Structure 1
Amino acid sequence: MEKYEGYDKHSTKVFCEAFNIGASSFKHKKRRQAALDKVRLSHDVIEEKIGRENFFYTKSKGGLINILNCNIGNKDMNVIETILKIILEEKIVPVQAEYARVTGKSQSTISDHINFLKKNNIILPAPTETVIVSSKETGEILSKYEKKIGDYVYYDITPNGSYVKLDEGNQVFANNMYKKLWTMEYFQIGRMQQKYSIYESDLKGFKTNVNKLVWVKMNEEFNLHNGQRKIIPNINPEVKQQLIEYFGIGACNHGKGTAC
Protein backbone atom coordinates (compact mmCIF):
# COMPACT_ATOMS: atom_id res chain seq x y z
CA MET A 1 0.00 0.00 0.00
CA GLU A 2 2.14 2.76 -1.37
CA LYS A 3 0.11 5.66 0.00
CA TYR A 4 0.80 4.49 3.56
CA GLU A 5 4.56 4.14 3.11
CA GLY A 6 6.36 5.65 6.10
CA TYR A 7 3.18 5.75 8.18
CA ASP A 8 2.49 3.94 11.46
CA LYS A 9 -0.79 2.06 11.64
CA HIS A 10 -2.91 2.30 14.83
CA SER A 11 -6.21 0.91 15.96
CA THR A 12 -8.48 3.56 17.49
CA LYS A 13 -7.52 2.44 21.00
CA VAL A 14 -3.77 2.57 20.32
CA PHE A 15 -4.13 5.90 18.49
CA CYS A 16 -5.85 7.47 21.51
CA GLU A 17 -3.23 6.10 23.88
CA ALA A 18 -0.35 7.28 21.69
CA PHE A 19 -1.64 10.85 21.54
CA ASN A 20 -3.14 11.19 25.04
CA ILE A 21 -6.72 11.33 23.81
CA GLY A 22 -9.54 10.30 26.12
CA ALA A 23 -11.23 7.29 24.53
CA SER A 24 -14.69 8.39 25.69
CA SER A 25 -14.32 11.95 24.37
CA PHE A 26 -13.15 10.55 21.03
CA LYS A 27 -16.64 9.13 20.52
CA HIS A 28 -18.15 12.63 20.42
CA LYS A 29 -17.97 14.27 16.99
CA LYS A 30 -16.77 17.76 18.04
CA ARG A 31 -14.24 16.47 20.59
CA ARG A 32 -13.03 13.87 18.13
CA GLN A 33 -12.44 16.54 15.47
CA ALA A 34 -10.67 18.79 17.97
CA ALA A 35 -8.41 15.91 18.98
CA LEU A 36 -7.60 15.07 15.36
CA ASP A 37 -6.86 18.74 14.59
CA LYS A 38 -4.36 18.83 17.47
CA VAL A 39 -2.64 15.63 16.32
CA ARG A 40 -2.41 17.06 12.80
CA LEU A 41 -0.30 19.94 14.15
CA SER A 42 2.56 17.47 14.48
CA HIS A 43 1.55 14.48 12.33
CA ASP A 44 0.01 13.66 8.99
CA VAL A 45 -3.06 11.53 9.73
CA ILE A 46 -5.00 9.27 7.39
CA GLU A 47 -8.14 7.65 8.74
CA GLU A 48 -9.44 4.50 7.09
CA LYS A 49 -12.35 2.21 7.90
CA ILE A 50 -11.66 -1.47 7.45
CA GLY A 51 -14.75 -3.54 8.03
CA ARG A 52 -16.38 -2.18 11.16
CA GLU A 53 -13.20 -0.76 12.67
CA ASN A 54 -11.38 2.55 12.10
CA PHE A 55 -7.63 2.65 11.69
CA PHE A 56 -5.33 5.65 11.79
CA TYR A 57 -2.10 5.98 9.83
CA THR A 58 0.26 8.61 11.23
CA LYS A 59 3.58 10.10 10.16
CA SER A 60 5.52 12.74 12.08
CA LYS A 61 5.87 16.15 10.45
CA GLY A 62 8.85 17.01 12.61
CA GLY A 63 8.95 20.55 13.99
CA LEU A 64 8.81 22.13 17.42
CA ILE A 65 6.03 20.04 18.91
CA ASN A 66 8.01 16.89 18.25
CA ILE A 67 11.18 18.36 19.73
CA LEU A 68 9.31 19.22 22.94
CA ASN A 69 7.75 15.75 22.97
CA CYS A 70 4.94 16.60 25.37
CA ASN A 71 1.20 17.17 25.30
CA ILE A 72 0.73 20.93 24.95
CA GLY A 73 -2.95 20.81 25.88
CA ASN A 74 -4.49 24.28 25.49
CA LYS A 75 -1.14 26.10 25.40
CA ASP A 76 -0.34 28.49 22.55
CA MET A 77 2.51 27.11 20.42
CA ASN A 78 3.36 30.61 19.17
CA VAL A 79 3.92 31.80 22.74
CA ILE A 80 6.03 28.74 23.57
CA GLU A 81 8.09 29.24 20.42
CA THR A 82 8.67 32.93 21.17
CA ILE A 83 9.78 32.31 24.77
CA LEU A 84 12.27 29.61 23.75
CA LYS A 85 13.61 31.64 20.84
CA ILE A 86 14.16 34.73 23.02
CA ILE A 87 16.07 32.63 25.56
CA LEU A 88 18.29 30.99 22.96
CA GLU A 89 18.94 34.03 20.76
CA GLU A 90 19.94 36.20 23.74
CA LYS A 91 19.05 39.40 21.92
CA ILE A 92 16.23 40.39 24.29
CA VAL A 93 16.22 40.38 28.09
CA PRO A 94 14.58 37.05 29.12
CA VAL A 95 12.00 38.43 31.56
CA GLN A 96 8.22 38.05 31.56
CA ALA A 97 7.60 41.69 30.69
CA GLU A 98 9.61 41.29 27.48
CA TYR A 99 7.98 37.97 26.56
CA ALA A 100 4.62 39.69 26.99
CA ARG A 101 5.67 42.69 24.90
CA VAL A 102 6.88 40.55 22.00
CA THR A 103 3.92 38.15 21.99
CA GLY A 104 1.24 40.72 22.79
CA LYS A 105 0.00 38.46 25.61
CA SER A 106 -0.60 39.24 29.28
CA GLN A 107 2.06 38.46 31.85
CA SER A 108 -0.29 35.95 33.49
CA THR A 109 -0.47 34.08 30.17
CA ILE A 110 3.32 34.21 29.90
CA SER A 111 3.69 32.93 33.46
CA ASP A 112 1.35 30.04 32.69
CA HIS A 113 3.40 29.04 29.65
CA ILE A 114 6.72 29.31 31.50
CA ASN A 115 5.33 27.07 34.26
CA PHE A 116 4.29 24.61 31.56
CA LEU A 117 7.82 24.56 30.13
CA LYS A 118 9.25 24.02 33.61
CA LYS A 119 6.75 21.29 34.44
CA ASN A 120 7.69 19.42 31.27
CA ASN A 121 11.43 19.81 31.89
CA ILE A 122 12.03 22.03 28.87
CA ILE A 123 13.30 24.79 31.17
CA LEU A 124 15.28 23.27 34.04
CA PRO A 125 16.19 24.76 37.42
CA ALA A 126 19.61 26.39 37.44
CA PRO A 127 22.33 24.11 38.83
CA THR A 128 23.42 25.03 42.34
CA GLU A 129 26.35 24.57 44.66
CA THR A 130 26.12 24.49 48.44
CA VAL A 131 27.88 27.32 50.29
CA ILE A 132 28.58 26.80 54.00
CA VAL A 133 30.01 29.31 56.46
CA SER A 134 31.17 27.91 59.81
CA SER A 135 32.38 29.45 63.03
CA LYS A 136 36.17 29.43 63.25
CA GLU A 137 36.06 28.81 66.98
CA THR A 138 33.40 26.10 67.30
CA GLY A 139 32.93 24.78 63.76
CA GLU A 140 29.21 25.43 64.09
CA ILE A 141 27.43 26.04 60.78
CA LEU A 142 26.34 29.68 60.73
CA SER A 143 24.81 29.73 57.26
CA LYS A 144 24.11 27.28 54.48
CA TYR A 145 22.56 28.16 51.16
CA GLU A 146 22.39 27.08 47.52
CA LYS A 147 24.20 29.35 45.09
CA LYS A 148 22.88 29.30 41.52
CA ILE A 149 25.40 28.50 38.80
CA GLY A 150 24.94 29.87 35.30
CA ASP A 151 25.38 32.79 32.95
CA TYR A 152 23.74 36.11 33.73
CA VAL A 153 22.41 38.80 31.44
CA TYR A 154 22.93 42.41 32.57
CA TYR A 155 20.39 45.04 31.60
CA ASP A 156 18.88 48.40 32.44
CA ILE A 157 15.28 49.35 33.18
CA THR A 158 15.01 52.83 31.70
CA PRO A 159 12.81 55.65 33.12
CA ASN A 160 10.06 54.76 30.61
CA GLY A 161 10.07 51.11 31.73
CA SER A 162 11.94 49.68 28.74
CA TYR A 163 14.33 46.76 29.20
CA VAL A 164 17.67 47.41 27.51
CA LYS A 165 20.31 44.71 27.43
CA LEU A 166 23.94 45.80 27.72
CA ASP A 167 25.96 45.09 24.57
CA GLU A 168 28.16 41.99 24.48
CA GLY A 169 31.39 43.79 25.39
CA ASN A 170 29.77 45.40 28.41
CA GLN A 171 28.14 42.08 29.39
CA VAL A 172 31.59 40.64 30.08
CA PHE A 173 32.82 43.83 31.76
CA ALA A 174 29.67 44.08 33.91
CA ASN A 175 29.88 40.45 34.98
CA ASN A 176 33.53 40.80 35.99
CA MET A 177 32.86 44.03 37.87
CA TYR A 178 29.79 42.65 39.65
CA LYS A 179 31.68 39.58 40.84
CA LYS A 180 34.64 41.70 41.94
CA LEU A 181 32.43 44.10 43.94
CA TRP A 182 30.48 41.28 45.54
CA THR A 183 33.64 39.34 46.37
CA MET A 184 35.13 42.39 48.08
CA GLU A 185 31.99 43.13 50.08
CA TYR A 186 31.11 39.53 50.85
CA PHE A 187 34.63 38.80 52.01
CA GLN A 188 34.11 41.39 54.73
CA ILE A 189 30.73 39.87 55.63
CA GLY A 190 32.13 36.34 55.77
CA ARG A 191 35.10 37.36 57.89
CA MET A 192 32.84 39.23 60.31
CA GLN A 193 30.37 36.32 60.39
CA GLN A 194 33.06 33.79 61.25
CA LYS A 195 34.84 36.01 63.79
CA TYR A 196 31.72 36.92 65.74
CA SER A 197 29.65 33.75 65.03
CA ILE A 198 26.82 35.68 63.40
CA TYR A 199 23.95 33.59 61.99
CA GLU A 200 22.71 34.05 58.43
CA SER A 201 19.28 35.24 59.62
CA ASP A 202 20.96 38.20 61.33
CA LEU A 203 22.72 39.27 58.13
CA LYS A 204 19.77 39.58 55.75
CA GLY A 205 19.35 43.33 56.13
CA PHE A 206 23.08 43.88 55.87
CA LYS A 207 23.30 41.82 52.66
CA THR A 208 20.40 43.74 51.16
CA ASN A 209 22.25 46.99 51.77
CA VAL A 210 25.43 45.53 50.26
CA ASN A 211 23.48 44.53 47.15
CA LYS A 212 22.13 48.08 46.85
CA LEU A 213 25.63 49.47 47.24
CA VAL A 214 26.97 47.17 44.53
CA TRP A 215 24.26 48.32 42.13
CA VAL A 216 24.85 52.00 42.91
CA LYS A 217 28.43 51.47 41.75
CA MET A 218 27.31 49.43 38.73
CA ASN A 219 24.80 52.09 37.70
CA GLU A 220 27.45 54.78 37.96
CA GLU A 221 30.02 52.80 35.98
CA PHE A 222 27.69 51.90 33.11
CA ASN A 223 25.48 55.00 33.23
CA LEU A 224 22.36 52.94 34.01
CA HIS A 225 19.03 54.08 35.43
CA ASN A 226 18.13 50.85 37.22
CA GLY A 227 20.68 48.15 36.48
CA GLN A 228 19.68 44.53 37.01
CA ARG A 229 20.93 41.08 36.22
CA LYS A 230 19.11 37.81 35.64
CA ILE A 231 20.34 34.27 35.26
CA ILE A 232 19.68 33.00 31.74
CA PRO A 233 16.99 30.28 31.85
CA ASN A 234 18.47 26.80 31.63
CA ILE A 235 17.16 24.95 28.55
CA ASN A 236 17.24 21.16 28.88
CA PRO A 237 20.40 20.00 27.05
CA GLU A 238 18.46 17.04 25.64
CA VAL A 239 16.50 19.42 23.40
CA LYS A 240 18.67 22.54 23.33
CA GLN A 241 20.68 21.74 20.20
CA GLN A 242 17.53 20.62 18.37
CA LEU A 243 15.88 23.94 19.24
CA ILE A 244 18.93 25.91 18.08
CA GLU A 245 18.76 24.10 14.73
CA TYR A 246 14.97 24.50 14.52
CA PHE A 247 15.21 28.27 15.03
CA GLY A 248 18.18 28.50 12.68
CA ILE A 249 20.25 30.32 15.28
CA GLY A 250 23.48 28.72 14.13
CA ALA A 251 26.51 29.02 16.38
CA CYS A 252 25.90 29.15 20.10
CA ASN A 253 25.15 32.65 21.35
CA HIS A 254 26.40 32.04 24.86
CA GLY A 255 29.57 34.13 24.84
CA LYS A 256 30.10 33.92 28.59
CA GLY A 257 31.20 30.34 29.03
CA THR A 258 28.07 28.17 28.93
CA ALA A 259 28.50 25.11 26.79
CA CYS A 260 25.97 24.49 24.02
Structure 2
Amino acid sequence: MTTKEYSVLELCEQVLFVKKQTFKNSQDKYLSKLSENYHVEIIKKRPMIIALTTKGKSPQQVDDTKFLEIIGCDIGGKDITLLKFILKSILERIIVPGQDEIAHHAKQAGIWSTDSRGSVKNYMAFLRENNIIVEPMTIPTWDNNPLVKRVIDKETGEILPTYYKKICNRIYFDYAKDGSSFQRERLPKNTQEAIEMAYYNSLPEMMESKIYPLYAKGHSDKYINNERMKAQDKLLREIGTAYGINYCVRMDEPSINPVIKGKLKEYFGIGV
Protein backbone atom coordinates (compact mmCIF):
# COMPACT_ATOMS: atom_id res chain seq x y z
CA MET A 1 0.00 0.00 0.00
CA THR A 2 1.20 3.52 -0.80
CA THR A 3 0.16 6.84 0.73
CA LYS A 4 0.21 10.24 -0.97
CA GLU A 5 -0.89 13.65 0.29
CA TYR A 6 -2.88 16.07 -1.89
CA SER A 7 -4.07 19.62 -1.69
CA VAL A 8 -7.67 20.08 -2.80
CA LEU A 9 -6.54 21.41 -6.16
CA GLU A 10 -4.13 18.51 -6.71
CA LEU A 11 -6.81 16.04 -5.68
CA CYS A 12 -9.27 17.51 -8.17
CA GLU A 13 -6.80 17.65 -11.04
CA GLN A 14 -4.94 14.37 -10.53
CA VAL A 15 -7.47 11.98 -8.99
CA LEU A 16 -11.07 13.18 -9.28
CA PHE A 17 -10.79 15.10 -12.56
CA VAL A 18 -13.39 17.66 -11.47
CA LYS A 19 -13.24 21.39 -10.83
CA LYS A 20 -12.24 22.56 -7.36
CA GLN A 21 -15.61 24.24 -6.78
CA THR A 22 -17.43 21.07 -7.84
CA PHE A 23 -15.57 19.16 -5.14
CA LYS A 24 -16.34 21.83 -2.52
CA ASN A 25 -20.05 21.79 -3.43
CA SER A 26 -20.27 18.01 -2.84
CA GLN A 27 -17.32 17.25 -0.61
CA ASP A 28 -18.91 14.36 1.31
CA LYS A 29 -19.98 12.70 -1.94
CA TYR A 30 -16.47 12.79 -3.43
CA LEU A 31 -14.78 11.66 -0.22
CA SER A 32 -17.19 8.74 -0.05
CA LYS A 33 -16.37 7.84 -3.65
CA LEU A 34 -12.65 7.99 -2.91
CA SER A 35 -13.12 5.62 0.04
CA GLU A 36 -14.12 2.85 -2.38
CA ASN A 37 -10.48 2.53 -3.48
CA TYR A 38 -8.53 4.45 -0.83
CA HIS A 39 -8.21 4.91 2.91
CA VAL A 40 -8.99 8.64 3.19
CA GLU A 41 -7.52 10.82 5.94
CA ILE A 42 -7.84 14.59 6.29
CA ILE A 43 -4.38 15.64 7.50
CA LYS A 44 -5.08 19.35 7.72
CA LYS A 45 -8.32 21.30 7.49
CA ARG A 46 -7.12 24.81 6.52
CA PRO A 47 -5.88 24.66 3.89
CA MET A 48 -7.19 21.13 3.45
CA ILE A 49 -4.62 18.39 2.92
CA ILE A 50 -5.93 14.89 2.22
CA ALA A 51 -3.90 11.67 2.43
CA LEU A 52 -4.94 8.76 0.21
CA THR A 53 -3.67 5.26 0.95
CA THR A 54 -4.34 2.69 -1.75
CA LYS A 55 -6.43 -0.30 -0.77
CA GLY A 56 -5.76 -3.84 -1.85
CA LYS A 57 -8.36 -5.27 -4.23
CA SER A 58 -11.40 -6.86 -2.62
CA PRO A 59 -12.10 -10.56 -3.34
CA GLN A 60 -14.92 -9.45 -5.66
CA GLN A 61 -12.61 -7.11 -7.57
CA VAL A 62 -10.05 -9.90 -7.95
CA ASP A 63 -12.78 -12.25 -9.20
CA ASP A 64 -14.10 -9.68 -11.69
CA THR A 65 -10.59 -8.98 -12.96
CA LYS A 66 -10.01 -12.68 -13.62
CA PHE A 67 -13.29 -12.93 -15.55
CA LEU A 68 -12.43 -9.88 -17.69
CA GLU A 69 -8.99 -11.31 -18.44
CA ILE A 70 -10.62 -14.51 -19.69
CA ILE A 71 -13.13 -12.87 -22.03
CA GLY A 72 -10.47 -10.38 -23.15
CA CYS A 73 -12.57 -7.32 -23.95
CA ASP A 74 -13.69 -4.01 -22.48
CA ILE A 75 -17.29 -4.36 -21.28
CA GLY A 76 -17.80 -0.60 -20.85
CA GLY A 77 -20.89 0.11 -18.78
CA LYS A 78 -22.32 -3.38 -19.09
CA ASP A 79 -23.27 -5.25 -15.91
CA ILE A 80 -20.55 -7.82 -15.30
CA THR A 81 -22.86 -9.96 -13.15
CA LEU A 82 -25.36 -10.38 -16.00
CA LEU A 83 -22.58 -11.19 -18.46
CA LYS A 84 -21.36 -13.90 -16.10
CA PHE A 85 -24.89 -15.26 -15.67
CA ILE A 86 -25.48 -15.50 -19.43
CA LEU A 87 -22.23 -17.36 -20.10
CA LYS A 88 -22.65 -19.66 -17.10
CA SER A 89 -26.22 -20.51 -18.18
CA ILE A 90 -24.98 -21.49 -21.64
CA LEU A 91 -22.19 -23.65 -20.23
CA GLU A 92 -24.27 -25.33 -17.51
CA ARG A 93 -26.90 -26.56 -20.01
CA ILE A 94 -29.72 -26.54 -17.47
CA ILE A 95 -32.13 -23.87 -18.68
CA VAL A 96 -33.04 -23.05 -22.28
CA PRO A 97 -30.49 -20.34 -23.23
CA GLY A 98 -33.08 -18.10 -24.90
CA GLN A 99 -33.51 -14.42 -24.20
CA ASP A 100 -36.80 -14.77 -22.29
CA GLU A 101 -35.53 -17.62 -20.16
CA ILE A 102 -32.20 -16.00 -19.26
CA ALA A 103 -33.92 -12.71 -18.37
CA HIS A 104 -36.47 -14.52 -16.20
CA HIS A 105 -33.93 -16.63 -14.33
CA ALA A 106 -31.57 -13.66 -13.87
CA LYS A 107 -34.41 -11.75 -12.22
CA GLN A 108 -35.32 -14.78 -10.09
CA ALA A 109 -31.70 -14.99 -8.94
CA GLY A 110 -31.81 -11.35 -7.88
CA ILE A 111 -29.04 -10.18 -10.21
CA TRP A 112 -31.23 -8.28 -12.68
CA SER A 113 -34.13 -5.98 -12.00
CA THR A 114 -36.25 -6.80 -15.05
CA ASP A 115 -37.25 -9.87 -17.02
CA SER A 116 -37.23 -7.90 -20.28
CA ARG A 117 -35.73 -9.94 -23.11
CA GLY A 118 -34.46 -6.73 -24.74
CA SER A 119 -31.63 -6.31 -22.24
CA VAL A 120 -30.44 -9.89 -22.64
CA LYS A 121 -30.71 -9.55 -26.43
CA ASN A 122 -28.33 -6.58 -26.30
CA TYR A 123 -25.91 -8.45 -24.06
CA MET A 124 -25.97 -11.52 -26.34
CA ALA A 125 -25.26 -9.26 -29.33
CA PHE A 126 -22.31 -7.76 -27.41
CA LEU A 127 -20.92 -11.25 -26.73
CA ARG A 128 -21.19 -12.12 -30.43
CA GLU A 129 -19.61 -8.84 -31.54
CA ASN A 130 -16.61 -9.59 -29.32
CA ASN A 131 -16.25 -13.18 -30.55
CA ILE A 132 -17.13 -14.67 -27.15
CA ILE A 133 -20.23 -16.38 -28.55
CA VAL A 134 -19.26 -17.59 -32.03
CA GLU A 135 -21.25 -18.63 -35.08
CA PRO A 136 -21.35 -22.39 -35.73
CA MET A 137 -19.15 -23.89 -38.41
CA THR A 138 -20.93 -24.68 -41.68
CA ILE A 139 -20.16 -27.26 -44.36
CA PRO A 140 -21.31 -27.15 -47.99
CA THR A 141 -23.98 -29.75 -48.74
CA TRP A 142 -25.40 -30.95 -52.04
CA ASP A 143 -28.90 -32.43 -52.37
CA ASN A 144 -28.60 -35.21 -54.94
CA ASN A 145 -32.32 -35.54 -55.64
CA PRO A 146 -32.69 -35.04 -59.44
CA LEU A 147 -35.66 -32.72 -58.96
CA VAL A 148 -33.57 -30.14 -57.10
CA LYS A 149 -32.36 -27.44 -59.45
CA ARG A 150 -28.58 -27.28 -59.77
CA VAL A 151 -26.90 -23.89 -59.53
CA ILE A 152 -23.68 -23.69 -61.55
CA ASP A 153 -20.92 -21.11 -61.28
CA LYS A 154 -20.79 -19.57 -64.75
CA GLU A 155 -17.05 -18.89 -64.58
CA THR A 156 -15.78 -22.19 -63.18
CA GLY A 157 -18.58 -24.59 -64.08
CA GLU A 158 -18.64 -25.72 -60.45
CA ILE A 159 -21.93 -27.03 -59.07
CA LEU A 160 -22.63 -24.82 -56.08
CA PRO A 161 -23.86 -26.27 -52.76
CA THR A 162 -27.61 -26.61 -52.30
CA TYR A 163 -27.19 -25.26 -48.78
CA TYR A 164 -24.67 -24.95 -45.96
CA LYS A 165 -25.24 -27.30 -43.04
CA LYS A 166 -24.57 -25.91 -39.56
CA ILE A 167 -22.47 -28.04 -37.25
CA CYS A 168 -23.79 -27.35 -33.78
CA ASN A 169 -25.62 -28.88 -30.87
CA ARG A 170 -29.40 -28.40 -30.93
CA ILE A 171 -31.61 -28.03 -27.89
CA TYR A 172 -35.07 -29.57 -27.85
CA PHE A 173 -37.61 -28.09 -25.48
CA ASP A 174 -41.29 -27.67 -24.72
CA TYR A 175 -42.10 -24.20 -26.07
CA ALA A 176 -45.08 -23.44 -23.86
CA LYS A 177 -44.70 -25.23 -20.55
CA ASP A 178 -47.53 -23.99 -18.31
CA GLY A 179 -48.45 -21.52 -21.07
CA SER A 180 -45.51 -19.26 -20.21
CA SER A 181 -42.61 -18.68 -22.60
CA PHE A 182 -40.07 -18.02 -19.86
CA GLN A 183 -40.85 -21.40 -18.30
CA ARG A 184 -39.89 -23.39 -21.36
CA GLU A 185 -38.61 -26.74 -20.26
CA ARG A 186 -35.34 -28.08 -21.59
CA LEU A 187 -35.95 -31.77 -22.22
CA PRO A 188 -33.78 -34.43 -20.55
CA LYS A 189 -30.73 -35.41 -22.58
CA ASN A 190 -31.98 -38.92 -23.41
CA THR A 191 -35.35 -37.52 -24.56
CA GLN A 192 -33.60 -34.96 -26.75
CA GLU A 193 -31.46 -37.67 -28.31
CA ALA A 194 -34.49 -39.91 -28.98
CA ILE A 195 -36.46 -37.05 -30.59
CA GLU A 196 -33.49 -36.03 -32.72
CA MET A 197 -32.97 -39.59 -33.95
CA ALA A 198 -36.68 -39.97 -34.77
CA TYR A 199 -36.67 -36.60 -36.55
CA TYR A 200 -33.74 -37.36 -38.83
CA ASN A 201 -35.04 -40.87 -39.55
CA SER A 202 -38.39 -39.38 -40.65
CA LEU A 203 -36.98 -36.38 -42.51
CA PRO A 204 -36.11 -38.13 -45.84
CA GLU A 205 -39.66 -39.50 -46.18
CA MET A 206 -41.13 -36.07 -45.47
CA MET A 207 -38.89 -34.47 -48.10
CA GLU A 208 -39.86 -37.09 -50.70
CA SER A 209 -43.59 -36.78 -50.10
CA LYS A 210 -44.02 -33.05 -49.45
CA ILE A 211 -41.04 -31.02 -50.67
CA TYR A 212 -39.44 -32.60 -53.74
CA PRO A 213 -42.77 -32.61 -55.65
CA LEU A 214 -42.79 -28.82 -55.32
CA TYR A 215 -39.63 -28.66 -57.45
CA ALA A 216 -41.37 -30.72 -60.15
CA LYS A 217 -44.24 -28.21 -60.15
CA GLY A 218 -41.86 -25.33 -60.78
CA HIS A 219 -42.32 -23.40 -57.55
CA SER A 220 -39.73 -20.76 -56.62
CA ASP A 221 -36.87 -21.55 -54.25
CA LYS A 222 -38.27 -19.01 -51.76
CA TYR A 223 -41.67 -20.72 -51.70
CA ILE A 224 -40.11 -24.18 -51.40
CA ASN A 225 -37.82 -23.13 -48.55
CA ASN A 226 -40.78 -21.65 -46.69
CA GLU A 227 -42.81 -24.84 -47.14
CA ARG A 228 -39.84 -26.96 -46.09
CA MET A 229 -39.43 -25.02 -42.83
CA LYS A 230 -43.15 -25.34 -42.06
CA ALA A 231 -43.08 -29.08 -42.81
CA GLN A 232 -39.98 -29.60 -40.64
CA ASP A 233 -41.59 -27.72 -37.73
CA LYS A 234 -44.75 -29.79 -38.07
CA LEU A 235 -42.76 -33.04 -38.19
CA LEU A 236 -40.89 -32.07 -35.02
CA ARG A 237 -44.13 -31.23 -33.18
CA GLU A 238 -45.66 -34.56 -34.22
CA ILE A 239 -42.64 -36.47 -32.92
CA GLY A 240 -42.69 -34.41 -29.73
CA THR A 241 -46.37 -35.24 -29.19
CA ALA A 242 -45.47 -38.94 -29.35
CA TYR A 243 -43.08 -38.30 -26.46
CA GLY A 244 -45.66 -36.39 -24.42
CA ILE A 245 -44.36 -32.93 -25.30
CA ASN A 246 -46.89 -30.14 -25.54
CA TYR A 247 -45.21 -28.14 -28.33
CA CYS A 248 -41.77 -29.42 -29.27
CA VAL A 249 -39.34 -26.83 -30.67
CA ARG A 250 -35.60 -26.82 -31.16
CA MET A 251 -32.96 -24.12 -31.27
CA ASP A 252 -29.25 -23.94 -32.01
CA GLU A 253 -27.28 -23.94 -28.79
CA PRO A 254 -25.10 -20.80 -28.49
CA SER A 255 -21.47 -21.76 -28.89
CA ILE A 256 -18.74 -20.30 -26.67
CA ASN A 257 -15.43 -19.50 -28.36
CA PRO A 258 -13.32 -22.67 -27.84
CA VAL A 259 -10.26 -20.54 -27.02
CA ILE A 260 -11.89 -19.37 -23.77
CA LYS A 261 -14.51 -22.08 -23.17
CA GLY A 262 -12.29 -24.26 -20.97
CA LYS A 263 -11.11 -21.25 -18.95
CA LEU A 264 -14.71 -20.13 -18.36
CA LYS A 265 -15.72 -23.63 -17.24
CA GLU A 266 -12.85 -23.67 -14.76
CA TYR A 267 -13.76 -20.15 -13.59
CA PHE A 268 -17.41 -21.12 -12.97
CA GLY A 269 -16.49 -24.51 -11.49
CA ILE A 270 -18.26 -26.47 -14.23
CA GLY A 271 -16.88 -29.89 -15.09
CA VAL A 272 -14.79 -29.77 -18.25
Shorter-chain TM-score: what band?
Answer: 0.5 to 0.7
Identical aligned pairs, as a percentage?
24
Separation in 2 of the partners of 1:25 and 1:200?
Answer: 65
**What are structure 1's unaligned runs of at least 5 residues?**
5-23, 42-55, 252-260
Cα drift, residue 221 of structure 1: 1.3
Cα drift, residue 197 of structure 1: 6.3
User: Is residue 2:244 matched to residue 1:235?
Assistant: no
CA contact (8 A) 2:241 2:248 kept: no
Range with bigger deviation, 234-243 or 171-180: 171-180
TM-score, normalised via structure 2 length: 0.65
Q: 1:137 to 1:230 in 2, by over 3 A?
A: closer
TM-score, normalised via structure 1 length: 0.68
Separation in 2 of the partners of 1:182 and 1:235?
Answer: 29
Structure 1 counterpart of 2:43: none
CA-to-aligned-CA distance 1:61-91 (integer Å, 9 cap, x gap): 4521111110000111111111101100001
Range with bigger deviation, 139-148 or 201-210: 139-148
Cα drift, residue 138 of structure 1: 10
CA-to-aligned-CA distance 1:40-63 (integer Å, 9 cap, x gap): 99xxxxxxxxxxxxxx9x999452
CA-to-aligned-CA distance 1:137-156 (integer Å, 9 cap, x gap): 89732983332211111110
Separation in 2 of the partners of 1:165 and 1:117?
Answer: 23
Structure 1 counterpart of 2:227: 206
Determine helix, strand or coil for the equivalent of 2:185: strand
Structure 1 counterpart of 2:193: 172
Structure 2 counterpart of 1:28: 17
Separation in 2 of the partners of 1:101 and 1:69?
Answer: 27
CA contact (8 A) 1:127 1:148 kept: yes
Structure 2 counterpart of 1:103: 106
**What are structure 2's unaligned runs of at least 5 residues?**
3-12, 20-29, 38-53, 108-113, 153-160
Separation in 2 of the partners of 1:176 and 1:217?
Answer: 14
User: Is residue 2:80 matched to residue 1:77?
Assistant: yes
Separation in 2 of the partners of 1:219 and 1:187?
Answer: 21
Q: 1:103 to 1:196 in 2, by over 3 A?
A: same
Structure 2 counterpart of 1:130: 140
Q: How many residues align?
A: 211
Determine helix, strand or coil for the equivalent of 1:170: helix
Cα drift, residue 180 of structure 1: 1.7
Q: 1:183 to 1:26 in 2, by over 3 A?
A: farther
Provide the aligned C-alpha RMSD in A.
3.8
Structure 1 counterpart of 2:51: none
User: Is residue 2:163 matched to residue 1:160?
Assistant: no
Separation in 1 of the partners of 2:165 and 2:244?
Answer: 28
Structure 2 counterpart of 1:148: 166
